[in-house]
Amino acid sequence: MTSAPTESTKVKNRRPRQAVHFGEPLPLGAHLCRASWLCGPSVTWMMLFLVGPLLFVVAMSFAQRGDDGEIVWRFTTENYARLFGQGALGFDPVQPLILARSLGVGLLTAILCLLAGLPVAFFIAGLPHRWKGAALTLVVIPFWTNLLVRTYGWQLILAPDGWIARGLRTANWLAADGELYPGWPAVLIALVCDYLPFMILPLYTSVEKLDPALEEAAADLGASPLRAFWSVVLPQIRPGLIAGCVLVFLPASGQFVIPDLLGGAKLALLGNAVQQQFGASRDWPYGSAIAVVALLVMGAGLWLHTRVTRGRREVALP
Amino acid sequence: MTVPSSTTFWFILPCRFTKTNPLQPAETNAADGSLVVECQQLTRRFGQFEALAGVSLNIRRGEFFSLLGPSGCGKTTLLRIIAGLDLPDTGELRIGGLPALHLPAWKRPVNTVFQNYALFPHLSVSENIAFGLRMKRLPSADIVRRTTSVMELTQILPLAGRHPHELSGGQKQRVALARALVNEPAVLLLDEPMGALDAKLRKELQLELRQLQRRLGITFVHVTHDQDEALAMSDRVAVMNAGRIVQLGTPDELYDRPKTSFVAEFIGVCNLFEGNLIRRTKQLLETETPLGRLRIELPATTIELSERSRLRLGVRPERIAMDGGQPGDNRLLGIVQSISSSGPETIAQVRVGDTLLRVTELNMGRRSVALHAGDSVELTISPGNFFLLED
């Protein structure tokens, strides 16, 4: 086992990766030449409108707010200190709480989507072939409606005098003065419903590839259904599971429309905080700092994802 | 915990855990005659297709038992029912003397070597093998010891850290075998274990598997459509067709005394023809056939033979001699239609009357004059070399 990695590096060194064009090996110069005019436009576009502004935001997060809300280009780390709770009057938990709450909401949404999505993925994978396409279309149908429209729809459905809220009150699952909207229940319901397809689709692709013989082998070797799921099925669908969790967690923790409209403007998340700083508060440097931290958190999530999935491949191909 | 007096397993397992396998008695004598699997009138339908049409079967402890038949004959369905991966519509199944149908697969004392091995791709070879023991929650020291000894036994110890996709077909087969054997099943089920291997490797593994089974004394139930494989490895073979067992016996019985034309033609090559019974003496039947008048020794199997009844007869190509023979043999005159050689044997098509007979002869280097198409040849068949078919 110890010799395996060196062998693979040997193979890598012996055969450097070379570009191939319709089966013909391409010299590096020709490859770069070709690539430059093919990829040039999109690279220029990304540089001008994504990387440039991003660097500007990072720079701005180290600037200061002027008295009239203008940007004063004087270096400071105060924005970050404030975000992590270093207020003028000592430790102020409000801002770190927003960060923690956003991550918590993202995580909770991902977990709820996972719990709701797993059975759906298995159900679709188990359907006869000709029905699978239709079922997958049904999963993505909500995307045909604009997010904003859907969110306003939830306002009506979950309204305090709506039939769902009234029904829950009659069943005594909701306090007499309790309500779903505005509040956390409505936000979570909407988040889970909106991001569920992002969980179901990658899960489905993994579940689809499962070999039923492996489950039989597990049962044959004495694994109860639960243990077979845990020790054989789950490891097989792990790539889809991780992809789904990342795809749900990242946008859900940065979502600002849903908490704003359904949380009754009481529940600030990262997205809301950024929106507020760039809007009403006119504190662009602080808003930038929040955005940068949000970006770093998401980046860390993605890095963890690739690391875990690549880690698997490294085990698989030593 | 009782230390078993039987030492059949000592080299794989210095200490056995009765807890792990409640249905297997401590004494394990190879082929002691007790029944380890009893099937009674098992039936199974898939929609319109009748996979099993009432199969009754007893498998003795310690024997190498093969289910042989063409694809779709129900042999795999029967194996899956024994494993608990499928349920029969009607019928009864006992494993180790106890009713087993109510037990789910994971509670049955059987293990399977699957056709495509079904190794867990996310686990290494040793983890694959340890899986069954882990599920039984054995102490990890025991798991390591038993896994290691079974890997030694199947000669895959150097592969311990590899993953299934880094293994060749033959290696995968060994891992699948080790993964099942390590659990010391009361019955080991093998579903076409050689199906994906090339012919040469298959021959080697057949021999090895047979030796392994003898050493371990574990009951093997082996499913195959390859008659050579079934004959070479098994103590007993059940030939299946269309959801039924058509004949059950030792490889020699099946080859020398097939009961139906299906068995005769499925196992080996044979010449089949019909005849009218003319005369019956104490030991011999005299029949009128398209080949002429033939004397046939009465088979041990009792078949209802009325005078003048129509008989179906068969003879294996290598039981027809082209050189002399013994006094008392049937003698036929024929013309060689074609002749070819497979290396070890010469295969001749000989026309006798209107019937074409296939005759094979070992190349012993004895024949001084080579046979050619068009030569006339005298064939001799000993009366004892015919078999009578029931259908």
> Could you read off the pLDDT of A46-84 as tens digits, one per residue?
999 999 999 999 999 999 888 887 888 888 888 888 888
Q: Give me the pLDDT at residue B83, please.
A: 93
Shared domain for B250 and B304, answered yes or no, is no
**Do A216 and B114 count as a contact with CB atoms less than 8 A apart?**
yes
Of B118, B161, B179, the CB nearest to A213: B118
Q: Closest Cα to residue A160, out of A176, A180, A174, A175? A: A180
Does residue B292 fall inside a structural domain?
yes
Shared domain for B173 and B32, answered yes or no, is yes
- φ, ψ for residue B60, nearest 5 deg: -85, 155
pLDDT of residue A14 exceeding 70 = no
What CA–CA distance (Å, rounded) separates A66 from A69?
A: 5
Does residue B323 fall inside a structural domain?
yes
Q: Give me the pLDDT at residue A311, please.
A: 52
Shared domain for B233 and B335, answered yes or no, is no
DSSP letter assigned to residue B107: G
Strand B187-191 to B271-280 pairing: unpaired
**Do B105 and A214 count as a contact with CB atoms less than 8 A apart?**
no
What CA–CA distance (Å, rounded) separates B310 from A249?
A: 81
pLDDT of residue A198 exceeding 70 = yes
Taking one residue from A and the other from B, the number of pairs with CB-CB distance under 8 angstroms is 71
CATH class of A96-316: mainly alpha
Look at residues B234, B261, B288 and tell me which one is the last residue of a structural domain.
Answer: B261
Look at residues B242, B261, B280 and tell me which one is the last residue of a structural domain.
Answer: B261
Per-residue three-class SS string for A282-300: CCHHHHHHHHHHHHHHHHH
Structural domain span for residue B157: 18-261
What does the pLDDT look like over A97-153, one tens digit per residue? Answer: 888 888 888 889 999 999 999 999 999 998 998 999 899 999 988 888 888 898 888
Look at residues B201, B235, B261 and tell me which one is the last residue of a structural domain.
Answer: B261
Shared domain for B374 and B275, answered yes or no, is yes
**Do B85 and A227 count as a contact with CB atoms less than 8 A apart?**
no
Q: Give me the pLDDT at residue A173, please.
A: 78
Using a CB-CB cut-off of 8 Å, the residues of chain A touching B134 are: 231
Does residue B5 fall inside a structural domain?
no
Using a CB-CB cut-off of 8 Å, the residues of chain A touching B116 are: 213
Shared domain for B257 and B309, answered yes or no, is no
Shared domain for B98 and B22, answered yes or no, is yes
Amino acid (1-letter code) at residue B313: L
B interface mutation test: which of A211, A221, A309 has the most B CBs within 10 A? A221
What does the pLDDT look like over A251-298, one tens digit per residue? Answer: 888 888 888 888 776 667 888 888 888 888 888 898 899 889 888 887
**Do A213 and B116 count as a contact with CB atoms less than 8 A apart?**
yes
Per-residue three-class SS string for chain A: CCHHHHHHHHHHHHCCCCCEECCEECCHHHHHHHHHHHHHHHHHHHHHHHHHHHHHHHHHCCCEECCCCCEECCCCCHHHHHHCCEECCEECCHHHHHHHHHHHHHHHHHHHHHHHHHHHHHHHHHCCHHHHHHHHHHHHHHHHCCHHHHHHHHHHHCCCCCHHHHHHHHCCCCCCCCCCCCCHHHHHHHHHHHHHHHHHHHHHHHHHCCCHHHHHHHHHCCCCHHHHHHHHHHHHCHHHHHHHHHHHHHHHHHCCHHHHHHCCCCCCCHHHHHHHHHCCCCCHHHHHHHHHHHHHHHHHHHHHHHHHHHHHHHHHCC
- Name the residue ranges covered by the structural domains of chain A: 96-316
Using a CB-CB cut-off of 8 Å, the residues of chain A touching B113 are: none
Does residue B147 fall inside a structural domain?
yes
Does residue B203 fall inside a structural domain?
yes
Positions in chain B short of pLDDT 50: 1-31
Give bridge partners of residue A91 from the DSSP assignment: A86
More confident of the two residues A44 and B388: A44
In chain B, how many domains are there? 2
Give bridge partners of residue B223 from the DSSP assignment: B67, B191
Using a CB-CB cut-off of 8 Å, the residues of chain A touching B17 are: none
> A6 vs chain B: nearest CA distance in angstroms?
15
Residue B95: count of CB within 10 angstroms of its CB: 25
Mean pLDDT in chain A? 82
Does residue B200 fall inside a structural domain?
yes
CATH number at residue B94: 3.40.50.300
CATH number at residue B381: 2.40.50.140
Does residue B6 fall inside a structural domain?
no
Shared domain for B248 and B325, answered yes or no, is no
Shared domain for B142 and B285, answered yes or no, is no
What CA–CA distance (Å, rounded) separates B30 from A285?
A: 83
Which secondary structure element, helix H or strand E, spans residue B251, and what is its range? helix B251-256
Does residue B12 fall inside a structural domain?
no
Shared domain for B239 and B290, answered yes or no, is no
Of A216, A224, A236, the CB nearest to B118: A216
DSSP letter assigned to residue B29: -
Are A98 and A105 in contact by the 8 Å Cβ rule? The answer is no
Which residue in B has a C-alpha nearest to residue A235's C-alpha?
B122
